[in-house]
Amino acid sequence: MLISMITSNSPSIESSRIAHSIGTALDRFIKNNQNQFLYASGELSQLLRDIALASKVVNREVNKAGLIDIMGAMGSTNTGGDQQQKLDVLANIRFTRALAKGGEVAALISEESETFVDLNNDGKYIIAIDPLDGSSNIDVNVSIGTIFSVYRRKSPAGMPIQDEDILQKGTEQVAAGYILYGSSTMLVYTTGHGVNGFTYEPTLGEYFLSHPQMQTPESGKIFSVNEGSANSFEKPVKAYIDYCKEKNYTARYIGSLVADYHRNMLKGGIYIYPATAKDKNGKLRLMYECNALAYISEQSGGLATDGKGNRIMEIQPTGLHQRTPFFVGSKEMVEKAEAFNS
């Protein structure tokens, strides 16, 4: 009797929410799209999987912050003179370990290390990574992120790493992405064929494709900038911010680059970190913060410049921890901000 009742109701179960497909898992997606990579060797796929795995471990730690002793400062500073948080250090260890294990990575550039980390001369890839960006937000339970760029080494594998391998322009990236540890955890990446976003399903321990072929709206109404330093912004930046206010745009600034960028990419907006009196070249790092987001931005229809007419990805790095002013987001908004320079 019970069985016949269920059977008679079953068409609605098939089409109900509980029976909805959960989507494509990241692993399967990477495998299905392997032929899009310039070097279809499977190594880049493995490398992306390694990053995803390390991010799951970091995600677990981030979610436990507050319960165990991983919040707060280490008592040391990183390359930029910022206080190192315990989770910064932990994330750096997790990503370095995961990337070292696979053998695909020759060297790692990290916010947490003064010089590059030499991993394996036989490796073909160079990774630039900010293992945990926005870490001053950890203690107050605000979204944080990981940002990464992947480059192919220039010198032949087997040789010691050269400057030309390390100091590559953003245009040379073969993949880039970020992980946002937010109200849900997302991994967003590009290999130069559009941008795809995956949401982490913690009970299954997997990322699933939730945001296929992401597009930045052409324009938007959100501007994100730390106006606390506005007195020392250059005139064109001040003028653009006044313009945003005249237009009644919405001000949104978390102080966590990945979160601010991600929101603007989805809703339409501009993120600005300009030169200030304190930081003459802005605060953000070209190699492991700006280039990855610039690549993702361009791949999703947006734009990224230094606010002075230079495309971020074309800036030749001269140092691992080089800073640059950063204007990124909806194309029309970045173009408008640039126009205030002329």
- Nearer to ligand AFP by C-beta: 138 or 174? 138
Q: Considering only residues 42, 205, 255, 319, which one is a binding residue for ligand AFP as defined by CB under 6 A?
A: 255
- Nearer to ligand AFP by C-beta: 30 or 333? 333
Range list of β-strands (E), the chain: 73-77, 83-85, 105-110, 117-118, 125-133, 144-152, 173-181, 185-190, 195-201, 206-211, 222-224, 250-251, 269-273, 303-305, 326-329
62 is an interface residue for ligand AFP by CB under 6 A: no
- Nearer to ligand AFP by C-beta: 43 or 133? 133
CB of 147 to ligand AFP, least distance (A): 9
Q: Shortest CA distance to 216 belongs to which of 266, 181, 180, 252?
A: 266
Neighbouring C-alpha atoms within 13 Å toward the C-beta of 106? 23
297 is an interface residue for ligand AFP by CB under 6 A: no
268 is an interface residue for ligand AFP by CB under 6 A: no
226 is an interface residue for ligand AFP by CB under 6 A: yes
3-state class of 219 per DSSP?
Answer: coil
Q: Considering only residues 46, 79, 136, 219, which one is a binding residue for ligand AFP as defined by CB under 6 A?
A: 136
CA geometry: angle 292, 145, 177, nearest 5 deg: 30
Please list the active-site residues: 82, 88, 111-112, 130, 132-133, 289
- Nearer to ligand AFP by C-beta: 30 or 287? 287
- Nearer to ligand AFP by C-beta: 102 or 131? 131
3-state class of 93 per DSSP?
Answer: helix
Q: Considering only residues 92, 199, 256, 297, which one is a binding residue for ligand AFP as defined by CB under 6 A?
A: 256
Residue type, 311: R
Q: Considering only residues 257, 312, 313, 334, which one is a binding residue for ligand AFP as defined by CB under 6 A?
A: 257
On whether the CB atoms of residues 165 and 114 are closer than 8 A, the answer is no
On whether the CB atoms of residues 41 and 35 are closer than 8 A, the answer is no
- Sheet with 206-211, side-by-side order of all strands: 117-118, 105-110, 125-133, 144-152, 173-181, 185-190, 195-201, 206-211
- Nearer to ligand AFP by C-beta: 108 or 180? 180
C-alpha separations of 171 from 75, 127, 161 in Å: 37, 14, 20
Binding part of the chain for ligand AFP, among 92-100, 129-137, 160-168, 290-298 by CB under 6 A, reads 129-137
272 is an interface residue for ligand AFP by CB under 6 A: no
Q: Considering only residues 112, 133, 165, 306, which one is a binding residue for ligand AFP as defined by CB under 6 A?
A: 133
Residue type, 10: S
212 is an interface residue for ligand AFP by CB under 6 A: no
Q: Considering only residues 283, 321, 323, 331, which one is a binding residue for ligand AFP as defined by CB under 6 A?
A: 283
CB of 199 to ligand AFP, least distance (A): 21
Sign of the torsion angle spanned by Cα atoms 251, 62, 119, 106? negative
112 is an interface residue for ligand AFP by CB under 6 A: no
**How far is 296 from 175, CA to CA, in rounded Å?**
9
302 is an interface residue for ligand AFP by CB under 6 A: no
Q: Shortest CA distance to 59 belongs to which of 207, 195, 259, 266?
A: 207
Q: Considering only residues 57, 74, 79, 82, which one is a binding residue for ligand AFP as defined by CB under 6 A?
A: 82
**How far is 185 from 183, CA to CA, in rounded Å?**
7
CB of 131 to ligand AFP, least distance (A): 10
CB of 323 to ligand AFP, least distance (A): 10
Residues of this chain that bind ligand AFP (CB under 6 A): 82, 133-137, 226, 255-257, 260, 283-284
